[in-house]
Amino acid sequence: DDLGRGADGVIHTADDVFKSPIAHAKVFILGMEDQFVFTDDDGFFELANLPAGKRVRVVR
């Protein structure tokens, strides 16, 4: 099964954990859309050289 229960312990709610990787998804920070990366085949990504502070990550 590729879906796990989140912190609330209830399946099919907003905090569920998806265990299948999302390959080739575009990831960027709001306000810094020109600095983006794509996830690899395992769903991993790294955003380098980000300034300190709170950010909102977007995956498409």
Residues 5-60: pLDDT tens digits? 888 888 878 777 877 888 899 999 888 899 999 999 988 899 888 888 877 777 77
Kindly state whether residue 2 falls inside one of the protein's structural domains: no
Kindly state whether residue 17 falls inside one of the protein's structural domains: no
Q: With bands split at pLDDT 50, 70 and 90, how would you rate the model's confidence at 1?
A: low
Kindly state whether residue 3 falls inside one of the protein's structural domains: no
Asked if residues 29 and 50 have their Cβ atoms less than 8 Å apart, the reply is yes
- What is the residue range of 28's domain? 22-60
> For residue 38, what pLDDT is reported?
95
Kindly state whether residue 32 falls inside one of the protein's structural domains: yes
> For residue 53, what pLDDT is reported?
86
Domain count, the chain: 1
Is 0.75 topped by the overall pTM?
A: no
